[in-house]
Structure 1
Amino acid sequence: MTDKIHLSAPDVGPLEESYLIAALRSGWVAPAGPDLDAFESEVATKVGTRGAVAVSSGTAALHLALLGLGIGPGAVVLVPTLTFVATANAVCYTGARPIFVDCDPRTGNIDVALLAELLQRIRSRGERIGAVIPVDMFGSCADYSTLLPICAAADVPVVEDAAEALGATHLGRPAGSFGRIGALSFNGNKIMTTSGGGMLVGDDVALLERARHLSTQAREPVPHYEHRETGYNYRLSNLLAALGRAQLIRLGSMIHRRRRLRDQYAKLFAPVPGVQLIGAEDTGSNCWLTSIRVDRQRSGWAAADLAAHLAARHIETRPVWKPMHLQPAYADAENRLTGAAERLFAEGLTLPSGSVLNERQVTTVFSAIDEFLTTRTGAPAA
């Protein structure tokens, strides 16, 4: 049986192995240790923030960020409808209520004009807006140069969900450094991984220290176990931090590999009517995932047709995120929609994008796509 070609498999090798072995031999297996401290410092330097707190997942990072801002029952939080469910779930963990905002059809990121309109509407009815959580979709930053002044004028803090965007930039500024605090993810399919894990980054040291306290079961700094409030078991382990340190060293080369793949996809689909790369014009993207949008009326075929063709050849693809307002868990949530996210969900397809793909696998993917396009159009792609 042919080995399956995955969408975005972990890219680990000898360097990661050496860091893990060194951490094991140091005796700092769990829970904390020098690799954890170093990993936080190195990520903060990479992102350009004053500090960082490593935790067990990107979801945990979002939860702690919202708690640190005092968000709870009675507050609303504005969230893109086009996102992974963790963004919305973290809001619900606090007892606050998510309100979903549609996306920019070109990038999949939050529609900033729509956000401005919604902020004004919610404030006019007297509700407390706890935060706005923009999500940096597919590795491309949201339009922060427009979004941040709007949120500042409304006196609403920004929690940047940069789970997909470590290494990306917006106008030269690193993803994760925007707003009051940012959340990163190191899940297995992300641009770099610690197996599972996440991190809070930001310049507000007090907010970060609050998150650090809550992430360690809110234990008081006394010899015995004492707790004055409810905390969480959210801290990242020293071993996983060691893995992350090695991945961070290789981050630049992994982004370069993914960017090469995106450039190849762009050339392949350039002559194909009705097909465009989502966010292709963003030169600051980390190219985490390359997604295309297929206009069936112009192309003569649907994204699902290409997906089925590739699946038959053991090549994994995936639709873009199913919008939150279409999810059964959030069907009754308030939203402000234009239809853009629904169209992207219907017309979008994410292609194999991992930096671990070897040349044989890349050739297999591109040959399979070329075969499909030749069958559909009668002529090979570029």
Structure 2
Amino acid sequence: MSASKNERIYLSPPHMGGSEQEYVRQAFESNFIAPLGPMVNGFEQDFSKLTGLAHCAALSSGTAALHLAMRLVGVQPGDVVIASSLTFIGSVSPVTFLGAEPVFIDSDYKSWNMNPDLLAEAVDYYISKGRKPKAVIPTDLYGQCSDYDRILEIIEPHGIPLIVDAAESVGATYKGRHAGKGALMAAYSFNGNKIITTSGGGLLASDDEELISRARWLSQQAKEPEPYYEHKEIGYNYRMSNLVAAVGRGQVEVISDRVERKREIFDYYRQELGNCPGISFMPEAEYGRCNRWLSVMLVDEEEFGASPDEIRIELEKENIESRPVWKPMHKQPVFEKNTVFGGKVSEDLFKRGLCLPSGTAMKADDMKRIVDLIKSCGR
């Protein structure tokens, strides 16, 4: 059955796969209710198999994962860290936690991700000033991998680490390998709206065992191996709970189905709306396979006859959630004094972009209703 007109259609709600309750039952029976336990270990192993990244630390959020990654590469006050501008603030706020300076890179139109040419310009500039960037953090926007190899060509000669914000790209691939593979570290999110969810949570992954071992230690308050509580460094309370991890284990089992369904939803929207004057959709970069976490369209107000926000308001009147594209970080009041290289592309995508309902449990009637409402907004 489709959703009734009174039942809200959310942007990207959780979708359980069926075995989550069994894993949770096992967690209850084992009495590992507090943080850590066999489900956390199992979830880390499951995710390692999925991604091909050898070592994983399950954490409380994707933001926590990025914070630990910044700490692990030695980010300190006054350092420069280069990041995507078109992203969610959780991608870059951890840089500020450590007193460093985020520098923003604009997108390109072929992927909507970090523009490698502008990245090269930024790296050269800061090295010439004696401020070699401490890390580069590209965001895999809306489930599409950044051009990792091109980015690595730019930063590896300078010894700058690549830390991928793969919060949105679980299940996506880059040149046949899972999102995040090839970076020094990759951060993932399992927030309630992600393609798979643990209700809230994240994970840091790497092929470097020492990095992940230290991440685990820092995420558990950096307690020294003594029978009493002794601390020589400041750590964090960032570990994932055993119950949350139990949900995650069930979700990992259905990731391939979720990716296929997300892509079907995107293809439906593009087929039904792509020929409307003034409407186009987020491209898929030739180097990878996007998970289409959210279906995102661009609207030319003059050609279509309505702005993205007017469409959003009309959908909301019918209890259907949609959302603008991320507002670029360089346009956020908290970062108004930070440096940006470029900026016009992400500003344009923000101005014209609209994220459409992309829940994998949506029915055909729901999707047709959404499409019909969007079409009715045009000329």
Normalised to the residue count of structure 1, the TM-score between the two structures is 0.95
Superposed, 1:313-352 pairs within 5 Å as: 313-352=318-357
Per-residue CA distance 1:280-300 (angstroms, 9 max, x = gap): 456600110010111223333
Q: Report the counterpart of residue 250 of structure 2 in structure 1.
A: 246
Is structure 2 residue 149 aligned with structure 1 residue 145?
Answer: yes
Q: Report the counterpart of residue 174 of structure 1 in structure 2.
A: 178
Match 1:112 to one of 97, 112, 116:
116
Say if 1:60 and 1:234, in contact at 8 Å, map to a contact too: yes
Q: Report the counterpart of residue 354 of structure 1 in structure 2.
A: 359
Measure how far apart 1:221 and its partner are: 1.8
Q: Which shows bigger deviation, 182-191 or 145-154?
A: 145-154
Say if 2:133 and 2:160, in contact at 8 Å, map to a contact too: yes
Instruction: Measure the CA separation in 1 of the matches of 2:17 and 2:122.
Output: 47
Per-residue CA distance 1:264-316 (angstroms, 9 max, x = gap): 01101221122211124566001100101112233333212221221111111
Q: Report the counterpart of residue 380 of structure 1 in structure 2.
A: none
Instruction: Measure the CA separation in 1 of the matches of 2:285 and 2:169.
Output: 16
Letter in 2 for 1:238: N
Is structure 2 residue 79 aligned with structure 1 residue 89?
Answer: no
Instruction: Measure the CA separation in 2 of the matches of 1:204 and 1:145.
Output: 19
Letter in 2 for 1:59: T
Superposed, 1:51-90 pairs within 5 Å as: 51-90=55-94
Is structure 2 residue 125 aligned with structure 1 residue 159?
Answer: no
Measure how far apart 1:171 and its partner are: 1.0
Per-residue CA distance 1:222-277 (angstroms, 9 max, x = gap): 22211111010000011111100000001111111111101101101221122211
Query: What secondary structure sits across from 2:167 in the alignment?
Result: coil
Q: Report the counterpart of residue 20 of structure 2 in structure 1.
A: 16
Is structure 2 residue 309 aligned with structure 1 residue 304?
Answer: yes
Is structure 2 residue 291 aligned with structure 1 residue 293?
Answer: no
Query: What secondary structure sits across from 1:129 in the alignment?
Result: coil
Unaligned runs of 5+ in 2: none
Measure how far apart 1:13 and its partner are: 5.1
Measure how far apart 1:43 and its partner are: 0.4
Measure how far apart 1:359 and its partner are: 3.3
Instruction: Measure the CA separation in 2 of the matches of 1:168 and 1:339.
Output: 27
Query: What secondary structure sits across from 1:350 in the alignment?
Result: strand
Query: What secondary structure sits across from 1:14 in the alignment?
Result: coil
Is structure 2 residue 31 aligned with structure 1 residue 27?
Answer: yes
Instruction: Measure the CA separation in 2 of the matches of 1:178 and 1:21.
Output: 36
Unaligned runs of 5+ in 1: 377-382
Per-residue CA distance 1:300-344 (angstroms, 9 max, x = gap): 332122212211111111000001111111111111124111111
Query: What secondary structure sits across from 1:128 in the alignment?
Result: coil
Query: What secondary structure sits across from 2:133 in the alignment?
Result: strand
Q: Report the counterpart of residue 122 of structure 1 in structure 2.
A: 126
Query: What secondary structure sits across from 1:201 in the alignment?
Result: strand
Letter in 1 for 2:175: L
Say if 1:10 and 1:192, in contact at 8 Å, map to a contact too: yes
Instruction: Measure the CA separation in 1 of the matches of 2:24 and 2:153.
Output: 43
Say if 2:86 and 2:107, in contact at 8 Å, map to a contact too: yes
Measure how far apart 1:358 and its partner are: 2.9
Say if 2:58 and 2:201, in contact at 8 Å, map to a contact too: yes
Measure how far apart 1:220 and its partner are: 1.3
Letter in 2 for 1:343: D
Instruction: Measure the CA separation in 2 of the matches of 1:361 and 1:223.
Output: 58
Say if 1:47 and 1:174, in contact at 8 Å, map to a contact too: yes
Say if 1:160 and 1:178, in contact at 8 Å, map to a contact too: no
Letter in 2 for 1:350: C
Is structure 2 residue 237 aligned with structure 1 residue 200?
Answer: no
Normalised to the residue count of structure 2, the TM-score between the two structures is 0.95
Q: Alpha carbon RMSD of aligned pairs, Å?
A: 1.4
Q: Which shows bigger deviation, 104-113 or 53-62?
A: 104-113
Letter in 2 for 1:34: P
Query: What secondary structure sits across from 2:92 in the alignment?
Result: helix
Identity between Structure 1 and Structure 2 (%): 41
